[in-house]
Chain A
Amino acid sequence: MPLLEVKKLQKKFGDLQVLKNINLSIEEGEVLVLIGPSGSGKSTLLRCLNLLEVPTDGEIIYNGENILTHKFNVRTYRQSVGMCFQNFNLFPFMTVIDNVTYAPIHILKKNKEDAVEKGMQLLQKVGLADKAKVYPETLSGGQRQRVAIARALAMEPKIMLFDEPTSALDPELVGDVLNVMRELADEGMTMAVVTHEMGFAKDVADRVIFMDSGYVVEDSSPAEMFTNPKNDRTKEFLSRVLNK
C-alpha cells in the first residue's frame, strides 16, 4: 500500500482549473520529484498534499484513509507531514533553536529540555548548531532554509514536502540545501519535491513526474525521464531546461 495516494484530484481557483484529474502515489521511503514549467500546478499539488490548498474534487489517501473527509483530523495529519517553503517562512521573532523547538513543545507537548536536545541534534545535522541562539534575519538564505528543514524534521514527520526549496537562493547557496535533502533521502525519508534543480532530480529521485497545465504528463524513473522522455511536451521542456 502506498503511503500517500492521489486519485482524480482537481483544484479550481474560481474559474481557473489549476489541477485536472491528478493521479499519483508515493511509496514509503520514496523520493518523488515534480518538475514542469511555471504555472503547471506543481506547487498547488504539493500544497494540496497537506491541505494548505483544499482540493475541489478527488481523493487523497494517507495510510488508507481519505484525508478529504470532514471527520478527518487535519491537524494531526499535518503534524506527520513536514513542509519546506520557497521563502522559508521562519518565525522572525524567535531564535533559531526556538523556531525548531516551538512546535514540538506546543503541539507534541514535549518538555523543553528534550525538545532542545533534539533540536540541537537536528541543527547539527543541517550544519547550523553554532547558530542556535541567533535570530533568522542574521542568516543567509541557504542557512534559513536549512533551519526550516530542521524545524519540519523536529515534528518527526512521516513525509517531507519541499516547495521549490532552492528557488529563492543565491546559486552558490543551493548546494548546501540540496546536500541536506540528499542526506535525508539517503536515510529513507519519504519526500515529495517541487524543484527546478534537474541535477537533484536525476541523482536523488526515485521517480520523476512531469506536469504541464494541470496534468501529470509523464511519470517515470529519472533515467527514463531524462534520457528517453516519451511525451513531446516533456521533451520540449527538458531540452529547454537542460540546455540553457
Chain B
Amino acid sequence: MKVLENLNFSKAIIELLPKLLGEALHIVVITTIVGFLFAIVFGFILALGRVSKKKALNHIIILFQEFIRGTPLLVQMVYIYYVMPLFIEIFASIIGISGFKVSMGSMTAGIIGLGINYGTYISEVIRSAIISIDKGQKEAALALGFSNAQAMFKIVIPQAFRNSVPVFGNYLVMMVKDTSLMAYITAQEFLMTTKAYTAQTFLTIESYTILAGVYLAICIPLAFAIRILERRLNRGRR
C-alpha cells in the first residue's frame, strides 16, 4: 500500500499541532466558555419564563424553542453570521441611520449561535429540574414567611440547579465538539486550521487523524472531570 508507506505523521505533528494548540485552541476554549455561560444564563431565563404563570409568555417561549429545535445549529450560525448583519443594517436605515455597517466576527456569531441553541435545550433541563422539586419545598418556605420569589430563588432553584449539573456537563462536552461548525463561518478553529493545512500539504490522513486526536484529548478528560464534580456534589446531600 503506497499511501500507507508515504504517511508522514512526524511532519504533520510538528507543523500542524502547534497551529491547533495555538490560535485554534484559543478560539475553541473562549467560544466554549463564553458560549456555555451565555447558554446557561439564556436557558435559565427561558426556563423561568416557562414556569411562570403568564400564558402569553409561555406560548412565545414555546414557539421560540420549536423554532430553534427545528433548525440545524449550523444553519443558525450561518444565519447569524451572514444574515443578521444585513437585517440590522436594514433596520438601521428604517429608523433613519444611513450607511450603518455591521460586521459580525465569526467568533461572536459562533458564541451567539451556540449560546442560543444550547440555551434552548438547557432551558428544558432547568425547567424539568424546577418542576421536579417537591412542591412541599416551596410551601415550607412560604409557611416560614418567605415571599413567592424568595421561595423560588432561595429554596427551589438552588436545588434545581444542583440537579441539573450532570446534564450541563454533557452539554459542555457536546459544545466543545460543536465549535467545529464554526469552520463554516470562517472561524480559524480546529477543523478550519486542519483543512487549510491539508490543502497545502496533502497530508490528509495524518492531519485529520491528529484533529480527531485533539478533540479526544480535550473531551475525554473533560467528561472525566465532570464525573468527579458530579460525585462531589452528590456527596452527603441531594
A-side residues, CB < 8 A to B, are: 50, 52, 75-76, 78-79, 81-83, 85, 87, 89-93, 102-103, 106-107, 135, 137-138, 148, 151-152, 155
Contact = CB atoms under 8 A, between A and B. Distances in A.
A85 B142 contact: no
B129 to A, nearest CB: 13
Interface string B136-149: 11011011111100
Contacts, number: 63
B5 interface: no
Nearest to B155: A91
Contacts of B162: 93
Given A91-B155, A92-B159, A92-B237, A79 B145 contact: yes
Contact of B146 (A85, A90, A107): A107
Interface of B: 134, 136-137, 139-140, 142-147, 150, 154-155, 158-159, 162, 236-238
A91 B162 CA distance: 13
Contacts of B237: 92-93, 135, 137
Given A85-B136, A87-B136, A106-B154, A92 B143 contact: no
Nearest to A76: B145
Contact of B136 (A89, A107, A138, A155): A89
Given A92-B159, A135-B237, A85 B140 contact: yes
The 3 closest A-B pairs by CB, nearest first: A79-B145, A89-B140, A89-B136
A143 to B, nearest CB: 16
A82 B145 CA distance: 9
A92 B139 contact: no
Contacts of B236: 135, 137-138
Contacts of B136: 85, 87, 89
Given A89-B136, A137-B237, A137-B238, A81 B146 contact: no
Contacts of B154: 106
20 contacts: A52-B139, A75-B147, A76-B145, A78-B144, A78-B145, A83-B143, A85-B136, A85-B143, A87-B134, A87-B136, A92-B159, A92-B237, A93-B159, A93-B162, A103-B146, A135-B237, A137-B236, A137-B237, A138-B236, A151-B144
Contacts of A75: 145-147
Contact of B137 (A81, A89, A102): A89
B215 to A, nearest CB: 35
B133 to A, nearest CB: 10
Nearest to A51: B142
Contacts of A102: 144
